Structure formats: structure tokens, C-alpha cells
Amino acid sequence: MTVPAGIIWLASFPKSGNTWFRIFLANLTAGESEPADINNLDERGGIASSRHEFEAATMLDSGLLSHDDIDCLRPRIYEAIATEAGKQRWIKVHDAYTATPGGEPLLGRKVARAAVYLVRDPRDVAVSLAYHNSTPIDQAIKHMNAADGAICRGSTGLAPQLRQKLMGWSGHVTSWLDQTDLPVHVIRYEDLVAAPASGFAGALKFAGRSAPQAEIERAIRHADFAELQRQESEKGFAERTSRNAPFFRSGRVGGWRNTLTAAQADAIEQCHAATMTRVGYVL
Amino acid sequence: MHSYLISGLHVWSELELPGAIPEAFQAAAADVSIRRSPVPMALEGATARGPTWEMAGEIFLLRVPRLARFRITAGRDIAVEIEPGVSDHDAAGFVLGSAFGILLHQRGALALHGAAVAKDGRAVAICGASGAGKSTLAAALCRGGCAFVTDDICVVDLDASGRPLVLPDGRQLKLWQESIDRLDLAQLRGEGVRESIQKYYIDPSGARAQPSPLSAIYVLREQRPPLKSGIESLALPDAIRTLDYEAYRPVLRAKIGRKREMLTHAAMVLSHAKMFLLVRPRGFEHLQETVATVQVHWDALDR
């Protein structure tokens, strides 16, 4: 079976299982008997907001461009990547589904084939995000509740990546689910944890890619949370930003129940009730 | 007309170039001219193209949407067409950066994406990706007594006996407001690189007028696993590969077809200047530590 070429976005709000999914893919592609090195993954599709890729493709100094000017150019970068790759390429993306200031979809059908969208209970996301950013949980919640939220948006220094509009947790989820330009396959993090084999196989099938059941199961074992924790504790992980917690910290479903105060859980539920209900999270 | 010395080249320009250091010379001595002229949206017979650029033989077209277009020809001319409503100042940053970088490639120069500073007449280059902290480290080294040589684009030339020299840049150091605040350099802050962006030219006190022999090239990386903080020497094959990668817009070099010539040039540079991987701990609070590490390493190198 020929795998259809083009970009597949691996899209999610931060801390929703995106890295786990990428490590699974890397292990599947590597086809080795030992787990892939988390700091040297073969299938390194990169992130859509990579400053380095932007500069290499445009020949421009991204630090001299406004965030909006950069957004106007981003679809052109993805066209170039898709053409050059000539095969299927999965690329991580944390941007909400938005239009550029020129009115063009930033991540639309013109540049990509489809998207796999990972969604996770926002109460667990809040705890994970607070550890990841080394901030109090209340600040993480504020970030998730801000409809105009974005990351790497600073104007007094050069952020490590290009600006990404998140639009708050609900804004993010609905932007991807409501757009009609790209086919989207939605996976809940909780379902993937409960039944990884069928979850990953479903996503691969959606992308027109298949793999033997045994290979999928091997890649799942090699990307198992305990394995990722083992590697991180031994060698560290390049994508860790937290000052006080590992990247692969807990990964648990429902861990928020022991961490969030009632007021904190309430603040999330109040803000995101409609979207939480829509994707099946019990209030 | 304005005249400047940029990367060792005499430049005549119809556009004022803030951040470039003026230098008087006879018009006939100009190596490069920069003028206003209509620039097409596309090139006829383009043999290579990217999202914002096209190349046809010795002509390179660069488009910055909603800002300006640049046509760079044969390493000698830069034609600039600025979009209505855009100031010369906003376009000038792209002339000094991308357009000049492309022109240097057309001339076959070895242009690294990096800064350089000098001490006792010897220079070191600091290469790395955007955001690696090159300019901030260069500024901190200058505050510690080094002379500023170049920022962003570092041209390495060879003297008559084949030894590498860093050419005096003629451009000022560019720093984000965040770095200016942390380094306490507000009193040296000059004009903004662009009206809407909080990145500024810093007056490079003690800028060198003469080419300086190059002692070492440090490739700067932020510490992330599996890298460990510190300085590590690169073996020659790795050094050549890294030097190629650290060129200013390395994709260009292959497109311009000078890759082979560049590798020969790089090998000659590396027979005199050593190359090191410099991994710095993350966070501004460790900057002085990195400065001290480089100073100690550099002193040992020159002994």
C-alpha cells in the first residue's frame, strides 16, 4: 500500500500527549528491537513553529519580522516542506487553527493533507502545564482560560519558536474541530492511554498508513511512559523546560483530583464546560 | 549618497543604513552599490526558488512581503524597491542582513552566521542559530574588555599566506531590549533595527578598523540533553561539516554552486583556527559563567 504524501499535522494544545505520539511514531519507523533514544529520534518531523526552518526556507531574519508578518509567510514554508519531502511527513503543531492576517488558513488544505488532533482533560492539562512552565497552577489556568492566549509572543527578546496562537483551551479545541478545510481525526489522550493499540492504529489508518499489529505493539512498548521516564532520568530530555520537574512527570489520567483545589477545578469547568461536554469530559 | 565599510567592502548606498558605520572613500573605489530601483515580482528563467526568493544565474530576488523587494546581482549591486508606506529605516535592516549575506555568498566569501570579538589583536568567532545567544555573549565579552569585531555575519578571509582573518564589519551590534537590560547597556543603546521591534543597535565601542587574525571558532549551543555544558574540541571532519552548517543561510551556498570552493576555503581556515563546541547553561543568570569559561579557554589557547 502506498502511503499518501503530504503533511499530517499532529495537533494539540500543549501537554496533551503530542510528544508521546511522536515517540511512538519514531519507534514504529525505526523498527528496532530496542527503544529509540528520546534525544535522537529518527522521525524528527520537527514543530511547525520552528524558527530555524522558517529562516532556512525564507533567507530572512525572523527577528526583524513582526509575528503577523511571519504568519503570512508560514503557509509558504509548509508548501515548500511538503514539496521537498515528497512523502508523508507528520509535523507537531501547537497552534490553534487560525487564519493569517491575509485571510488564508495558516495550516489549511492547501499545505497539508489532514490532521490528527489530540485532546486531554483540561484539568489534567492545567497540572501538567504548571509543572512544565514552572509556574503556579493558577497561572496555568489563567493561560488556558485566555481566549487570546499565545506562546512565544514576547516582543523584548527572541523566543525560541515562532509565535503560536492558542486561543485558550476551548478556543483551541473548537478551532480544530469546527474548521471544515482539513479532515481531522480526533483522539482523546485518555482513550489512547486506556487502549493504545487501537488508538494508534486508528490514527495510522486515517493517515493512509498501516503497520502489522505486532509492530504497533512493539512501538507502544518502546514508547511506554515508564521507558520514557527511565531514559529521561538517565540522560535527560532535550525538550524539558521545567526547572523543577521532569518532562515525563506523571502522564496519569485524572491526576488532577489529588492536585487541584476545588476552586481551581471550578475555574476550569466554568470556563470550558461546553467544550468539555462536547468531547466527553464529565464535569 | 552614503558610504560605508561593510564586511571589508566599500559600499555606496542611496539608502541610509542605520547601524552601518560611515566611511569616506572615492566613488571609483566602491565594491558594492545599493540603489533604489524597480524590482520585479519574479525572475525570468529562475533555476531555483523558495517561498520568498528566486535565483537566475547571477541574479537573486528576495521578497519581504508588505515591506520590500531586493535584487542582488553578481556580488556587486543591490537594487531595492520599498513598498509604499514603508520607511527606508525598516527596509535597511534587511539590506544589511539577508541581502548583504546573499551578496557575500555571490562573491564567494566565507560568511558565517555569527559574531566576533578580539583581544590583543586576535579574534574569535561565535557561531550559532538565531536565539543561541551569540550577540549577547559577544556584548558580554566586550563589556569584559574585548573589542567588538562583527555581529550576525562574520566574514572570514585568507591573507597572502593563507591565514584566516576576520574582516572588520562596519555594522553595530544588535541586541534585544531584554539583553540590553540584563547587561545594563542602556547608555549605549542606539536606534531600533525596525520601528516596530524592540531590538536595538548598540554602539560597538572599540570597533576594530583592521582585519584580525582568527584564533578560534566557537559554535554556541544552549545546554539540552545529550549535550553537557562546557567546551569541547571538534575533530577536523566534524569541524568542516559544522562550519558548512554554520554558514550564513547555508542553503544558499549550495544553490549558488560554490559549495566545493567553500569547503576548500573552510579547510584552509581550520588548518589555522581551531573549532570548538561551546555549550552554555540555560538562563541569563549563567551568562558570566559562560564569559569566564570562554576567557579562560581563550587565554590557554593563545599561550
Least confident of B16-20, B195-199, B258-262: B258-262
Residues in chain B: 303
562550519: which residue's cell? B243
Interface of A with B in 135-174 (CB under 8 A): 154-160
Asked if the Cβ–Cβ distance from A77 to B51 is below 8 Å, we say yes
pTM confidence score: 0.93
CA separation for the pair A261, B73 (Å, rounded): 65
* Omega before B164 within 30 of 0, i.e. cis: no
* Radius of gyration of chain B measured on its C-alpha atoms: 19
Asked if the Cβ–Cβ distance from B193 to A66 is below 8 Å, we say no
Spell out the domain ranges in chain A: 6-278
ipTM field = 0.92
CA separation for the pair B211, B159 (Å, rounded): 10
For the domain made up of B111-302, give the CATH fold.
Rossmann fold (3.40.50)
Q: Does A79 touch chain B (CB under 8 A)?
A: yes
Count of alpha carbons within 13 angstroms of residue B112, beta-carbon side: 36
Residues B266-286 have pLDDT tens digits of 889 999 999 999 999 988 999
- The pairing of beta strand B189-194 with beta strand B147-150: unpaired
Cβ contacts (< 8 Å) between B101 and chain A: which residues?
Answer: 59
Cβ contacts (< 8 Å) between B62 and chain A: which residues?
Answer: 59-60
Asked if the Cβ–Cβ distance from A158 to B130 is below 8 Å, we say yes
Contact yes or no for B125/B166 (Cβ under 8 A): yes
578560534: which residue's cell? B216
Query: What distance in Å separates residue B207's CA from the closest CA in chain A?
Result: 24
Cβ contacts (< 8 Å) between A157 and chain B: which residues?
Answer: 176-179
Per-residue burial over B77-87, b = 16 or more CB atoms within 10 Å of its CB, e = otherwise: ebbbbbeeeee
Q: Does A101 touch chain B (CB under 8 A)?
A: no
| Chain A nearest-CA residue for B181 | A156
Cβ contacts (< 8 Å) between A160 and chain B: which residues?
Answer: 131
pLDDT at res. B256: 79
- pLDDT confidence bin for A45, thresholds 50/70/90: low
Asked if the Cβ–Cβ distance from B52 to A158 is below 8 Å, we say no
Asked if the Cβ–Cβ distance from B225 to A51 is below 8 Å, we say no
Cell of B118: 578580539
- Measured from the Cβ of residue B29, the count of other Cβ atoms closer than 10 Å reads 9
Residues A80-139 have pLDDT tens digits of 988 888 889 999 999 999 999 999 999 999 999 999 999 999 999 999 999 999 999 999
pLDDT at res. A277: 98
- Measured from the Cβ of residue A85, the count of other Cβ atoms closer than 10 Å reads 14
Spell out the domain ranges in chain B: 2-107, 111-302
Residues B63-79 have pLDDT tens digits of 999 999 999 999 999 99
Residues in chain A: 283
Secondary structure element (H or E) that encloses residue A216, with its range: helix A213-222
Asked if the Cβ–Cβ distance from A39 to B226 is below 8 Å, we say yes
CATH numeric code, A6-278: 3.40.50.300
Cell of B267: 579547510
- pLDDT confidence bin for A21, thresholds 50/70/90: very high
Could you tell me where the DSSP H helices lie in B119-233?
Answer: 134-143, 177-183
Asked if the Cβ–Cβ distance from A51 to B102 is below 8 Å, we say no
Q: Where are the beta strands (DSSP E) in chain A?
A: 6-12, 88-93, 114-119, 150-151, 164-165, 184-188
